[in-house]
C-alpha cells in the first residue's frame, strides 16, 4: 500500500503542474489538442492572453506566438517598368499575427521564417504588378506614394490566408542597375542643359529689353535736359540782350566801352594769336585814352 502511495502522490503533484502554463507579455498562446488547434465558440482559435493559464495535462500542447508588430526588412529585388527598364527596389513591411490558428497552420507550426517567406512572395508579386505599369519617373517621384498604397492594399488582402495583418509597407530605396544608370544620367544631364540654355536665352532677351528701355530713358532725360538748357540759355541771352539794350539807351559811350573790352578779351585771350591791325584804328581807341573816351 505504501509502495502505491508514493507514485500516486508524485502523479498528484506533477499533473497540476503540467496543467499550468504562463504566457509572457507581448505573446499569445494557442493549445493544440490531438494535433488540432483548440477553438472557441466562434470557431476561431482560442487565444490565451498573457498571465497564468490552464490546460489539460498530457493531451494539450501549448504553442506561444509573438503578438507584437514585426518588421520584415525585405531584400532588394529587381523589377521591370512599363518602359522595359530594370529597377532595383528595397522595401520593408510591418506586420503582425491576426488569426493565430490560421497562422499556425499556414506556417508549419508558427514558423516566422516561413511566414515572412510567404509574405515576401506576396509583396514581390504586388510590386511587380505595380512597377510593371509605371515608368521610372512615376515610380521615383509622381506616383511613388500611390504605388506603396496599392501594394499595401493588395498585401493586406492576400496575406489574410496565412493569418497575417499587414500594417504598413514602404519603399526605402530605388536604384538603377549599373548598365542603365549612365544612360539615364546622360539624358537627365542633356535635359538640364537644354533647360539651362533656354533660361540663359530668356535672360539675354530680357537683358536686351531692359538695356533698350534704359537707353531710351537716358535719351529721353538728355533730350529733356538739352531742351531745358536751350530754353534757359535763350532766356538768359534775351535777358542779357535786354540788359545791353537798356545800358545802351542809358549810356551809349559806356556800352561801346563795354563791348570794346569784350572784343579785347576775345581777341587777346590766346597768347599765340597775332593781330595785324593799324595802331591808329578805332579798334584801339580805348587803349590809348580810355578816360577821354568815357568822358566825352
CATH of the domain at 110: 3.30.479.30
Residue 221 included in any domain: no
Written as nine digits, the cell of 120 is: 515576401
Written as nine digits, the cell of 140 is: 521615383
Residue where a domain terminates, one of 66, 93, 108 = 66
171 shares a domain with 74: yes
28 shares a domain with 59: yes
Residue 54 pLDDT > 60: yes
What burial class does residue 172 get, using C-beta atoms within 10 Å of its C-beta: 0-12 exposed, 13-18 middle, 19+ buried? exposed
Smallest Cα–Cα separation from 85: which of 179, 149, 170?
A: 179
132 shares a domain with 112: yes
Where helices occur in the chain by DSSP H, the ranges are: 2-18, 100-106, 112-131, 136-137, 144-158, 178-250, 252-268, 285-288, 290-295
Strand 164-175 and strand 86-97: the pairing is: antiparallel
Measure the CA–CA gap between 91 and 78, rounded to whole angstroms. Answer: 12
Residue 182 included in any domain: no
Residue 241 included in any domain: no
* For helices 144-158 and 112-131, angle between their N-to-C axes, nearest 10 degrees: 140
Written as nine digits, the cell of 245 is: 539794350
91 shares a domain with 147: yes
In sign, the C-alpha dihedral spanning 181, 183, 184, 185 is positive
Residue 147 included in any domain: yes
95 shares a domain with 20: no
Residue 53 pLDDT grade (very low, low, confident, very high; cuts 50, 70, 90)? confident
Greater confidence (94 vs 260) lies with 94
pLDDT digits 0-9 by tens, 108-164: 888 899 999 999 999 999 999 989 888 888 888 778 888 899 999 999 898 888 999
Residue 293 pLDDT > 60: no
Residue 124 included in any domain: yes
* For helices 178-250 and 252-268, angle between their N-to-C axes, nearest 10 degrees: 140
Residue 33 pLDDT > 50: yes
Residue 113 included in any domain: yes
74 shares a domain with 32: no
Please give the pLDDT value at position 273: 62
DSSP letters spanning 173-239? EEE--HHHHHHHHHHHHHHHHHHHHHHHHHHHHHHHHHHHHHHHHHHHHHHHHHHHHHHHHHHHHHH
82 shares a domain with 35: no
82 shares a domain with 54: no
124 shares a domain with 80: yes
pLDDT digits 0-9 by tens, 69-85: 999 986 788 888 888 88
pLDDT digits 0-9 by tens, 171-218: 888 887 776 666 667 778 888 888 898 899 888 889 988 998 998 899
Residue 292 pLDDT grade (very low, low, confident, very high; cuts 50, 70, 90)? very low
pLDDT digits 0-9 by tens, 233-264: 888 888 877 877 777 677 666 666 667 767 66
Domain that holds residue 141: 70-176
85 shares a domain with 143: yes
Please give the pLDDT value at position 238: 85
What are the angstrom distances between the C-alpha of 33 and each of 44, 45, 102, 109?
14, 12, 15, 13
Smallest Cα–Cα separation from 45: which of 96, 98, 115?
A: 98
Residue where a domain terminates, one of 121, 148, 176 = 176
Measure the CA–CA gap between 107 and 118, rounded to whole angstroms. Answer: 8
Residue 1 included in any domain: no
Cα 221 to its chain centre, rounded Å, is: 46
Measure the CA–CA gap between 36 and 16, rounded to whole angstroms. Answer: 23
Measure the CA–CA gap between 289 and 117, rounded to whole angstroms. Answer: 131
Greater confidence (44 vs 66) lies with 66
Number of domains in the chain: 3
Please give the pLDDT value at position 166: 93
Buried b (16+ CB within 10 A) or exposed e, 239-261: eeeeeeeeeeeeeeeebebeebe
Residue where a domain terminates, one of 151, 176, 201 = 176
Please give the pLDDT value at position 15: 67
Residue 236 included in any domain: no
Written as nine digits, the cell of 233 is: 540759355
- Backbone phi, psi, residue 244, to 5°: -60, -40
Amino acid at each position: 500500500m505504501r509502495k502505491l502511495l508514493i507514485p500516486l502522490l508524485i502523479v498528484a503533484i506533477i499533473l497540476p503542474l503540467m496543467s499550468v502554463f504562463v504566457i509572457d507579455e507581448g505573446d499569445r498562446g494557442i493549445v493544440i489538442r490531438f494535433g488540432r488547434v483548440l477553438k472557441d465558440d466562434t470557431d476561431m482559435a482560442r487565444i490565451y492572453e498573457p498571465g497564468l493559464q490552464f490546460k489539460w495535462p498530457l493531451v494539450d500542447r501549448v504553442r506561444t506566438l509573438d503578438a507584437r508588430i514585426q518588421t520584415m526588412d525585405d531584400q532588394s529585388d529587381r523589377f521591370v517598368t512599363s518602359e522595359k527598364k530594370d529597377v532595383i527596389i528595397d522595401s520593408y513591411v510591418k506586420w503582425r499575427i491576426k488569426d493565430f490558428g490560421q497562422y499556425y497552420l499556414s506556417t508549419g507550426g508558427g514558423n516566422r521564417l516561413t511566414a515572412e517567406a510567404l509574405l515576401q512572395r506576396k509583396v514581390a508579386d504586388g510590386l511587380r504588378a505595380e512597377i510593371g505599369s509605371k515608368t521610372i519617373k512615376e515610380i521615383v517621384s509622381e506616383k511613388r506614394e500611390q504605388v506603396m498604397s496599392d501594394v499595401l492594399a493588395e498585401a493586406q488582402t492576400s496575406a489574410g490566408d496565412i493569418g497575417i495583418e499587414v500594417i504598413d509597407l514602404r519603399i526605402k530605396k530605388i536604384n538603377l542597375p549599373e548598365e542603365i544608370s549612365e544612360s539615364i544620367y546622360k539624358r537627365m544631364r542633356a535635359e538640364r542643359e537644354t533647360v539651362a540654355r533656354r533660361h540663359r536665352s530668356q535672360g539675354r532677351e530680357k537683358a536686351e529689353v531692359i538695356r533698350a528701355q534704359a537707353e531710351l530713358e537716358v535719351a529721353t532725360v538728355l533730350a529733356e535736359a538739352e531742351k531745358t538748357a536751350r530754353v534757359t540759355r535763350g532766356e538768359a541771352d534775351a535777358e542779357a540782350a535786354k540788359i545791353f539794350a537798356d545800358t545802351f539807351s542809358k549810356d551809349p559811350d559806356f556800352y561801346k566801352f563795354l563791348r570794346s573790352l569784350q572784343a579785347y578779351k576775345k581777341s587777346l585771350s590766346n597768347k599765340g594769336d597775332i593781330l595785324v591791325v593799324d595802331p591808329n584804328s578805332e579798334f584801339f581807341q580805348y587803349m590809348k585814352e580810355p578816360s577821354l573816351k568815357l568822358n566825352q
